[in-house]
């Protein structure tokens, strides 16, 4: 009788291990999507020195519509900050407008979402992976796994409406000895 119970126990443990392995097989492509989207956002930010609100909304909605992200869409976040003392956000706050015309005529440089070239911007995308499995027709949900990925990029655009050294209050690519 004990041999029969051991066989049942071993088969249950084996099935659980297979289900956990399959969950991990879904986790890695999901995580690579976070990495790829972070790279995409960092490239947009390095080109324009900030992320326009329309791009932000499009990328966030696109990410929330993907299959596994859809289950915990409220936990998906995109953050980008200029490095330095004030950690100014690098994402434009507000709706769609002609960015060049709107920000160019502002006299307050701190109201502009962009800084001068050569500054560092850190982009972070965070989401929650819903860890779940089905065993004997019963759904088992484990604690969700919060995951984030960060990437630092260098801004490359020079803006004529900003002071030449604007935004260099903190770290820049020129502060490092190579």
Print pLDDT tens along the chain (178 aa). 788 889 999 988 888 788 778 878 888 999 999 999 999 999 999 988 888 888 899 999 999 999 889 888 889 999 988 876 557 778 887 765 566 566 666 666 667 777 777 888 899 999 999 877 766 788 877 788 899 999 999 888 877 777 666 655 555 555 555 4
Q: What is the DSSP track for the chain? A: -HHHHHHHHHHHHHHHHHHHHHHHHHHHHHHHHHHHHHHHHHHHHHHHSSB-HHHHHHHHHHHHTSHHHHHTGGG-EEEEEE-SSS--B-B--SS---HHHHHHT-S-GGGSS---TTBEEEEEEEEEE--EEEETTEEEE---EEEEEEEEEE--PPPTTS-TTTTTTS-BGGGS--
Is residue 8 classed exposed, middle or buried when 0-12, 13-18 and 19+ CB atoms within 10 A define those classes?
A: exposed
Q: How many domains does the chain have?
A: 1
Predicted local distance difference test score (pLDDT) of residue 83: 79
Q: In what order do the strands lie in the sheet with 145-154?
A: 77-82, 120-129, 145-154
Quote the domain boundaries for residue 66. 2-175
> What is the per-residue pLDDT for 27?
86
User: How confident is the model at residue 178, as a pLDDT?
Assistant: 47
Please state, in angstroms and rounded to a whole number, the distance separating the CA atoms of residues 94 and 100.
14
Q: How many angstroms separate the CA atoms of 47 and 165, rounded?
A: 18
Q: What is the per-residue pLDDT for 174?
A: 53
């Amino acid at each position: 009788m004990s041999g029969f119970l051991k066989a049942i126990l071993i088969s249950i443990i084996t099935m659980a291990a297979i289900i956990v392995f399959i969950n991990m097989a879904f986790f890695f492509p999901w995580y690579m999507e976070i990495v790829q989207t972070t790279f995409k956002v960092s490239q947009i930010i390095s080109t324009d020195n900030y992320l326009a609100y329309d791009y932000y909304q499009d990328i966030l909605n696109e990410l929330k519509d993907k299959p596994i992200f859809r289950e915990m869409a409220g936990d998906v976040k995109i953050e980008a900050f200029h490095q330095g003392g004030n950690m100014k956000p690098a994402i434009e706050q507000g709706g769609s407008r002609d960015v060049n015309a709107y920000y160019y005529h502002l006299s307050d440089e701190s109201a502009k979402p962009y800084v001068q070239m050569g500054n560092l911007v850190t982009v972070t995308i965070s989401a929650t992976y819903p860890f779940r499995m089905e065993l004997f027709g019963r759904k088992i949900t484990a604690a969700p796994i919060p995951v984030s990925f960060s990437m630092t990029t260098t801004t490359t655009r020079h803006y004529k409406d900003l002071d030449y050294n604007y935004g260099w209050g903190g770290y820049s690519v020129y502060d490092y000895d190579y």
